């Protein structure tokens, strides 16, 4: 088995020899003239890994939404579980996978994939669709503007909406919220975005949010255990996948979330669907990885099946999110769910 096969999962097996850039565009032209179904190779470069709930959800959205005549291949950069100093090495491996496959379209999943791969791909004769991007990509897209045509989906935590809903659920004297994130790249970007809205939330919603970036498991646990004593009324669980223990090893995200649920003296809320449920956060206005994948699949379909040029498709933002709650967790804290929130069993 060659290195590409080791690095990538494929929904279909078998290799096709691809020609150069002219051959790829010539193949598209022949397909248009013949009216026959055209099979494209699509390489999905994931910032994280398939076992991560967000990735599992958006890849499902891609698989369900992209025409089955096209072949999907996946490469995992695994940046939730490797040190930041190794990100560039992971990106080089991803680029090698691209060079071997010579796909017709590349999907870049989340910030690390876009940040590290666009500088390598921007002059390739391909279309690029990104998803799950928290940072404003405009400066990066301007710096690396070349032959490749780029569009995609932005992902921004629903900070204001969540703070407004928490304000409705809690008594006025408890309108002080602790927001916890790990120290990964995605968290840093999300925190910058939230800090910009801090003043608006405090002045218009009357809610004070203390937003913290945390590196270690010990620091996280200390923040949770002392939140009640520090006068907070609720905790929002952001991202927690890059926390490390005293030996510098990554801690299981599932263990972090379970421990937080068991030891918190305050109700827990979440920004993402994977953090909400029984034994997790009680609820929140959540973003869904499945929706990101579905929206990206719509763009892929427009490019591959409807022959639209990616450069003319506007960059889109995630839809409005949905309110979720877990009934047992809400009952634990004596909370009454908003009527427009959806209950979940697990």
- Distance (Å, whole) CA 30 – CA 47: 34
| Spatial contact of 125 and 147, defined as CB atoms under 8 Å apart | yes
Buried/exposed 153-173: b ≥16 CB within 10 Å, e otherwise? bbbbbbbbbbbebbbebbeee
Tell me phi and psi for residue 200, to 5 degrees. Answer: -60, -45
Domains 3-155+289-317 and 159-270 equal at CATH topology level = yes
Q: Given 3-state DSSP classes, what are the helix, strand and coil percentages for the chain, each rounded to the nearest 5?
A: 45, 20, 35
Q: pLDDT tens for residues 319-345?
A: 678 999 999 999 999 999 999 999 999
Give the predicted TM-score (pTM) of the model. 0.82
CATH code for residues 159-270:
3.40.50.2300
Residue 346 neighbours by CB under 8 Å, 6+ apart: 277, 278, 326
Helix H, strand E, coil C: the string for 112-160 is HHHHHHHHHHCCCCCEEEEEEECCCCHHHHHHCCCCCEEEEEECCCCHH
Q: List the chain pLDDT tens, one digit each, 346 residues.
A: 344 443 444 443 333 334 444 545 555 555 555 445 679 999 999 999 999 999 999 999 999 999 999 999 999 999 999 999 999 999 999 999 999 999 999 999 999 999 999 999 999 999 999 999 988 899 999 999 999 999 999 998 889 999 999 999 999 999 999 999 999 988 998 888 888 888 888 888 999 999 999 999 999 999 999 999 999 999 999 999 999 999 999 999 999 999 999 999 999 999 999 999 999 999 999 999 999 999 999 999 999 999 999 999 999 988 678 999 999 999 999 999 999 999 999 8
- Distance (Å, whole) CA 120 – CA 124: 8
Q: pLDDT tens for residues 300-320?
A: 999 999 999 999 999 998 867
The correct answer on CATH 3.40.50.2300 for the domain covering 3-155+289-317 is yes
Tokens of 93: 């491996």
| Spatial contact of 128 and 106, defined as CB atoms under 8 Å apart | yes
Tokens of 252: 């299981």
Q: What are the residue ranges spanned by the domains of the chain? A: 3-155+289-317, 159-270
């Amino acid at each position: 088995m060659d290195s590409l096969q080791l690095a990538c999962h494929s929904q279909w097996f078998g290799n096709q020899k691809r020609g150069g850039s002219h051959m790829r565009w010539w193949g598209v032209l022949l397909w248009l003239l013949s009216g026959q179904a055209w099979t494209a190779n699509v390489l999905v470069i994931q910032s994280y890994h398939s076992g991560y709930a967000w990735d599992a959800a958006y890849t499902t959205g891609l698989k369900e939404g992209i025409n089955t005549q096209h072949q999907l291949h996946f490469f995992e950069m695994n940046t939730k579980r490797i040190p930041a100093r190794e990100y560039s090495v992971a990106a080089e491996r991803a680029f090698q996978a691209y060079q071997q496959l010579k796909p017709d379209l590349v999907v870049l999943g989340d910030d690390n994939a876009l940040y590290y791969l666009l500088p390598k791909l921007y002059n390739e004769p391909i279309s690029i669709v990104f998803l799950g991007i928290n940072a404003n990509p405009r400066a990066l897209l301007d710096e690396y503007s070349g032959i490749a045509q780029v569009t995609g989906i932005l992902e921004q935590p629903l900070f204001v909406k969540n703070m407004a809903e928490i304000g409705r659920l809690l008594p006025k004297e408890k309108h002080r919220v602790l927001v916890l994130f790990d120290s990964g790249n995605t968290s840093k970007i999300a925190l910058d975005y939230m800090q910009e809205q801090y003043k608006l939330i405090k002045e218009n919603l009357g809610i004070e949010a203390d937003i913290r970036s945390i590196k270690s498991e010990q620091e996280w646990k200390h923040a949770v255990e002392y939140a009640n004593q520090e006068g907070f009324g609720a905790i929002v669980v952001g991202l927690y996948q890059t926390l490390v223990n005293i030996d510098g090893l990554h801690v299981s995200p599932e263990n972090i979330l379970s421990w937080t649920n068991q030891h918190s003296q305050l109700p827990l809320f979440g920004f993402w669907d994977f953090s909400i449920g029984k034994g997790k956060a009680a609820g929140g206005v959540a973003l869904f990885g499945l929706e990101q994948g579905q929206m990206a699949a719509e763009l892929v379909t427009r490019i591959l099946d409807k022959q639209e040029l990616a450069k003319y498709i506007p960059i889109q933002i995630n839809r409005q999110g949905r309110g979720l709650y877990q009934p047992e967790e809400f009952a634990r804290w004596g909370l009454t769910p908003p009527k427009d929130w959806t209950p979940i069993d697990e």
